[in-house]
Amino acid sequence: MDKHLTHINEAIRLAVENVCNGGGPFGAVIVKDGEIIACSGNTVTQTNDPTAHAEVNAIREACRRLETFHLEGCAIYSSCEPCPMCLSAIYWARISEVYYAATREDAAESGFDDSLIYDEIAKPVGKRFIPFIEMKVDETTKPFRIWQEYEDKTRY
């Protein structure tokens, strides 16, 4: 358990450091074979990137470093329970384990409330407060047809 404590405390330390650097109170580290291979704070405001949550930043950095788009065998340690965007990124990246300290309820108490997005994802498309509008057009499935026919594709 000690190694897990070391890594989660590093994620928390990064989160605190990140606040002092003008960013949000979140940090994450990615570990492979016992070694930290990527780490980041949340840099949404510093980099004008609403997707630059700590976990997403760390996933991007780990993939750059390993030159892969999959992170099987890696664990991510986050100072806070991942939001739905980061949770989904963790699945797309095929990370193997997720450890976190603060819960979404702890975050909500400090004004970082993901529950709205958790609720919206579960709703039927027509019931969300951002309108999601399906358009019926002739070539809807053309990209998938081309993909299936294309021989040099890299599956992911």
Residues known to be catalytic: 55
> Which residue of 33, 67, 124, 126 would you call a contact of a copy of itself, by CB under 8 A?
67
First to last CA, the chain: 33
CB of 109 to a copy of itself, least distance (A): 7
> Which residue of 124, 126, 127, 130 would you call a contact of a copy of itself, by CB under 8 A?
130
Other Cβ atoms less than 10 A from the Cβ of 107: the count is 19
Q: Any idea what DSSP says for residue 21?
A: T
> Which residue of 34, 124, 126, 143 would you call a contact of a copy of itself, by CB under 8 A?
143
CA–CA separation, 29 vs 98, rounded Å?
Answer: 10
Q: Which are the contacts of 50, defined by CB distance < 8 A and separation ≥ 6?
A: 44
CB of 130 to a copy of itself, least distance (A): 6
72 lies in the binding site for a copy of itself (CB under 8 A): no
CB of 51 to a copy of itself, least distance (A): 5
**Residue numbers 3-62 binding a copy of itself by CB under 8 A:** 4-5, 8-9, 12, 15-16, 18-20, 22, 24-27, 44-45, 48-51, 56, 59-60
CA–CA separation, 94 vs 143, rounded Å?
Answer: 25
> Which residue of 32, 36, 37, 85 would you call a contact of a copy of itself, by CB under 8 A?
85
Q: State the amino acid at position 13 in one-letter form.
A: R
Degrees (nearest 5) of the Cα angle 39, 59, 116? 100
CA–CA separation, 80 vs 34, rounded Å?
Answer: 21
127 lies in the binding site for a copy of itself (CB under 8 A): no
Give the tokens for residue 27: 């940090």
Smaller CB distance to a copy of itself: residue 37 or 87?
Answer: 87
> Which residue of 3, 73, 109, 115 would you call a contact of a copy of itself, by CB under 8 A?
109
